[in-house]
Amino acid sequence: MRTVTCLALLSLFSISTPALSLELGSDNDLATLLNVNNAERLLLVGFPDQSMNRSQNASPSSYRHRGSYRTTSWSKRISDDIAEEYSIQKLAEWPMTEIGVHCIVYLVPNDKSVPEVVENLSHNTNISIVQNMHLYKTQATTNDDPYLKLQSNMRDMQIDEAHNLATGKNITIAMIDTGVDFTHPDLTDQISQHENFSASISSGFENDQHGTAIAGIMVAKQNNKTGIIGIAPDANVIAYKSCWPAKENSMEAICNSFTLSLAINTAIKSGAKILNMSLGGPKDTFLEELLKKAQENGIIIVAADEGVDKKDIRFPASLAGVIGVQSTKPGSEQSGIAAPGIKILTTLPHGTYDFISGSSIATAEVSGVIALLMQLKPDLTYAEAKTFLEKSSFDKGLFTGINANTAVSNLCKSIHCS
């Protein structure tokens, strides 16, 4: 199999920024990379490297510490040559172990045009991929009407009936999102691991709203005499923070190719068989490579889908083999897989609750339903999951979407479970 080394080029408004080490640099330098104001000037580039040692055991969780990663001398020489040839400054580098990718950050001086640099790099025969760094946004909003009947989504999808057959026991869902309040009464002991890939720009974890809301939808505790019930209350979540709140105490959050790639790479190695990505953005070549690797490893990827009229923010839902999920829209016909996403009660930080809307919520519901299916059939494939979800879809007045009880019951019949 061909291995690939990737490089990222960062063009900032001043070239006086101190350079990072040849491994990953300091928190301040990483904060500069994660600064949304620099996003349009961040580029990713890749070239083949047959000498990369793909068996290295370095963990992306230590990416903020110098010396955790080592590059091959060949790739270092090539990256140095590129820096010299194009007059760009190398800032940092790290390997993307699961797909054999080695990543490097460069600084492009202000007197150079980023599009021209991209164009010139695209003609370099050593380089196979050149792309922009992309931003991704979580897809949920807070609603002001807290008095809607509690957990209407559970009734619409007949979750109570589905729980007679499965509750997600022993199933792990990897969630790439913001942080999570794992001290919330409904989430205590439900988050088995957590890791922050955007710590240098957002060091907090438990105060983040979006991830807390998504986790509650999927795995909020059952029968604890508190709050709500999750779709798969006996499943657990590995929470990877790669998105950070757009502003303090905001439901809206932002991620980029850098943080998402670190989280996906780690999720592939985690052992989780479901990957929830309640977010969307433009197509991204490097993330696509990682997600394809996840698919090869049998991970079912579920992502928020804003629909064909929002094609510029449909990735990764638009990627073949990913289950894209739309929020049900009263009075309109849904295309593809849909689940409740209007004013759904879920968990928020500090033991609170609120009604949240958006395809982010619908995505979490579908990840939870897949956990129910996977409890009954641990080797469940993407194709099987998609089939059972699609065949469970129904039209009930103002609701058109999946029925969890139908999906679980049909799977149970097919495998003759008791």
Residues with a known catalytic role: 177, 210, 360
CA distances from 384 to 177, 376, 391 (A): 26, 12, 11
φ/ψ of 94, rounded to 5, equals -160, 155
- Alpha-carbon gap, residue 28 to 379, rounded angstroms: 43
φ/ψ region of 142 (left if φ > 0, alpha if ψ in -120 to 50, else beta) reads: beta
- Alpha-carbon gap, residue 271 to 256, rounded angstroms: 24
Residue 406 amino acid letter: T
* Helix, strand, coil share (%) of the chain residues, nearest 5: 30, 25, 45
DSSP 40: G
Pick from 91, 73, 124: nearest CA to 21 = 91
Cβ atoms < 10 Å from Cβ of 362 = 31
Pick from 305, 269, 78: nearest CA to 172 = 269
**Residues, the chain:** 418
Contact (CB, 8 A) for 196 and 30: no
CA distances from 303 to 321, 338, 397 (A): 11, 11, 26
- Give the position of tokens 């045009």: 113
H or E segment to which residue 408 belongs: helix 404-415
Residue 219, SS3 per DSSP: helix
φ/ψ of 300, rounded to 5, equals -90, 120
Pick from 214, 218, 219, 227: nearest CA to 185 = 227
Angle, helix 382-392 to helix 404-415, in steps of 10 degrees: 130
